[in-house]
Amino acid sequence: MGQAKSEWMRDWNAPDRYICAKCVNDEFLKGIIQQNLDRHTCDYCQCKTHGISAAPVSVLMEPIGNTVFYHFNNPTSGGVPYDEGCIVDSISTDEVLNELSLNCHERLFDDIANAFTNNDWVRAAGGNWASSHPHETMSESWSNFVNIVQHNVRFFFQHPATSNTTSCHEYEPQKMLPLIGKLAKQLKLLQKLPAGTDLFRVRERHEDADWELNAEQMSAPPPEKASAGRMNPVGISYLYLAYEQETALAEVLSKPPCGAAIAHFVTQRDLSVLDLTNLPSRPSIFDSSRRSEREGILFLESFADEISKPVQKNGREHIEYVPSQVVSEYFALLFKTHPGKNLDGIAYRSSVRPNGRNLVLFPTERGFIRQRV
């Protein structure tokens, strides 16, 4: 990082102009401007105020330049090999700033682009063209984990021998689940579901159904009848619920004509859940002090999508569900919110209803206490 920053400081010349916060969209950059107000007039929108309202454009160049050189570099400094020319296509500074989503006044955009003496860039994580960003490495490692538990080693993936299937830049399979748990704590995804929360469960029911409509039939199935689900292995009974009645219906019923039984549950105590339905907003790409947090959120966004993705009922669903089942078993049995304290369940987005939220509750001591919700 030090090398990239020193290179950045040699490769730009800040325009001698002043900018107001209205002329940039990024909230972090707006804050930089507000902290460095020095003039009454903005040189871009020409807004003039009684109080000082504009800051030197130079104060924006440090976070922007820092970000440019974190994601990009010129081909030579980025270590791109040559074989009768550069082996990867380069892009212009305008394209770099567009990829970084620098939304601002058009003339300011041009001034910032022209401030860089280099106009020949390649994507280069941390300054090196062959490197990956942390969220990319985590996503690649998760894909490797999925492949291993689906097709190679189902029950003993924690064994060090499975690390032979990963590159030196990836997290080993046995480290993926603790990594996800660590990120969950760091990003405050462990939430309290308060007592008194309404939850819903639906079972499809036809007129000739041979089961009695009662509380026991609407709870989690007994282990001997528990088929494999998105979160539970076959033979291990989890309780699937939804936060919204509409989501519970959408998860079970496909198309009419159909009948359904709906159960309304109310939590009797506070529950501790891993909430994948409401991830934190990404920090600004220009805020280097929160770069690690941003990388973690980027990975968890893709992870939450993977956990919630639709799965075709084509006979292979028992294979497709294995990764999320392994994740659930880890959080049910090994992960601790506090010493000696287990999670009660995982909240995840519905794959069939936009903005719908589901909740799976883990069994207590490998069996359900019927009165727990």
Each residue's pLDDT tens digit, 228-241: 889 998 899 999 99
User: Which residues pair with residue 121 across a beta bridge?
Assistant: 91
Return the percentage of the chain with pLDDT > 90, whole number.
64
* pLDDT (average), residues 172-200: 94
* Residues in CB range of 193: below 8 A, 6 or more apart: 267, 270, 271, 272, 273, 344, 347, 359
Block residue for tokens 């494999």: 228
Q: What is the reported pLDDT for 370?
A: 42
> Where do the domains of the chain lie?
2-123, 134-185, 191-372
pLDDT at 85 over 90: no
pLDDT in tens, 267-299: 999 999 999 999 999 999 999 999 999 999 999
* Residues in CB range of 92: below 8 A, 6 or more apart: 119, 120, 121
pLDDT band at 157 (very low <50, low <70, confident <90, very high): low
Q: Which two tokens stand for residue 158?
A: 């924690």
Higher pLDDT, 305 or 254: 305
pLDDT at 341 over 60: yes
Average pLDDT, rounded, for the chain: 88
Block residue for tokens 């987005």: 349
pLDDT in tens, 167-184: 555 888 889 999 999 999
Report d(CA 102, CA 88) in Å as an integer: 24
Give the type of residue at 224. Answer: E
User: Which residues pair with residue 56 across a beta bridge?
Assistant: 18
Q: Read off the DSSP letter of residue 359.
A: E
Backbone angles phi, psi at 97, to 5 degrees: -65, -35
Q: What is the reported pLDDT for 367?
A: 45
- Whether the link from the prior residue into 257 is cis, omega within 30° of 0, is yes
Q: What is the reported pLDDT for 372?
A: 41
Contact yes or no for 216/370 (Cβ under 8 A): yes
Angle, helix 134-151 to helix 173-186, in steps of 10 degrees? 130
pLDDT in tens, 303-334: 999 999 888 777 777 888 999 999 999 999 99
Given the DSSP bridges, would you call strands 260-266 and 239-242 parallel, antiparallel or unpaired?
unpaired
Report d(CA 151, CA 109) in Å as an integer: 49
User: Which residues pair with residue 242 across a beta bridge?
Assistant: 200, 358
